Structure 1
Amino acid sequence: MLGQKSLLFLSYILKNEYKLICEYPSDVQLVGHCVIKLVDNNNKYSNQITLLSFGGARNTKRHTLMMKYESVWSNISNKLKKSNNCNQWIPFTNNDNHPIIIGTDKNNYCGARAVIGGSNNHLFVFNLNLFKFIQHDTLSDTIQYHGFILKSKNEQEQEKNSQNYEMLLFGKEVLLSIEYDEYNNTFQVQQPIRCIRSFNRCAYACVSDTILFFGGWNIGQNSGRNIGWNSGRNGRWNS
């Protein structure tokens, strides 16, 4: 949970408590940035996850930062965590320890979204080992603060031997299905499906085959309706 003044908090629902994890660097201006959990199959520490934060609008300084996160609720001392560079944002660097910034000065990543997937669990479509984009494509309309998910592995079991990955994009009043062919490095966008709700600056989470939407913004007024969509068997919208 990101609070004011670029502070990162974690909530413990059962205890109804919050704990401060860290602050963003003072020179980072947060404007609709994206934070995503990376997948590291070589991680020896089961209690540690890796987070990637990136974003920035055209008129703000862009950033790409990484964090090794360990639970702030654990018994490990904060001093030990800091000595291991845990729970603090550090520059995302290449193998020569040079900082890597995702995107260029021409890109507007305000309200950007991202997914992790593919055979090597890269940031679609940024190769985290080569530190570069491997493909670009452009939609016919601009969109920000949208919903963006990768269809679950269970839903794509019939394609185990293929290298096609389907993503769902929710924005404005439409749903787009985007398929990425990893072998040919190409995108295919299906015809948009009109949604019964307009999605604008919503938070969202996936639980099994259901997508939950929280809050949102509607003509300058907060919109608190929660909306779920079953992406599995029937594809029904529920409020």
Structure 2
Amino acid sequence: MSKIILTITQPEDQSFPNWRKGIVFNGKVEMPPELENTALYYRWYSSSFSGLSSDGKKVLFYSMHKEALTNIETPYRHTLGFGSHIITLAASDQPGESKKDLKKIKHGGVTGGAQGEHPCIIHILKAKIISPKEGSILPRSGFTLRAEAPVAWLNEHYRCLCYRWRLVPVGEPIDRPSFDSNKMAFAFFEEGQPRTVSYRFDPKLLKDAIGGYQLILIVTADRVSDADEESDTKSHEDRKMVILEMA
């Protein structure tokens, strides 16, 4: 098998693509002279994506796109879900990706992945508060904050997501205490529909906290500084108004 050299030019390894606009995937290929007239087919893969049937029980295809791409230098745009993704780019002389197609491959190449010389791991940051709901009345005796969690939450080899909860007083009196969980990234994890990550709030931290508060969830990376939380791609936040009462 002749060596085909692939390079991922977009996205960059350990980057934080803007998921709102879709992620741009782009690459380039170096072909040996003896394969100049050989047609190649390209596929992009994510560790957290596969094409499922309508009932979600059967995998119909594994790459991000059902049909193979024929020009890797033409940007491909795709929306990926919340979390950390291992990205792989593969090329071969076969258009399909079934077991039968794989056995027919004579020439091909691959790059990216989690390890090796050219890894490609990206992080999609998304903050979504599941509970409490907007306007909820929360007892000072204690409550649990829940947020959407990524599918691959438990993979410690490459995930870097960090959760930060804040409570900021709204309205009078303005000198009421605020609260910051200080990036307690992995406080607690639950299985559920949807998958959630939870944080148990200790009311003893806010002895005089009564009335209207803004609940803020900031999702960022464990290596990102406070200054980087202002970045649109290196952090994402969700906000809810809640009321704390004595109970």
After TM superposition, the score normalised by the length of structure 2 is 0.24
Higher relative contact order (CA 8 A, sep 6+): 2
Instruction: Tell me which structure has the larger Cα radius of gyration.
Output: 2
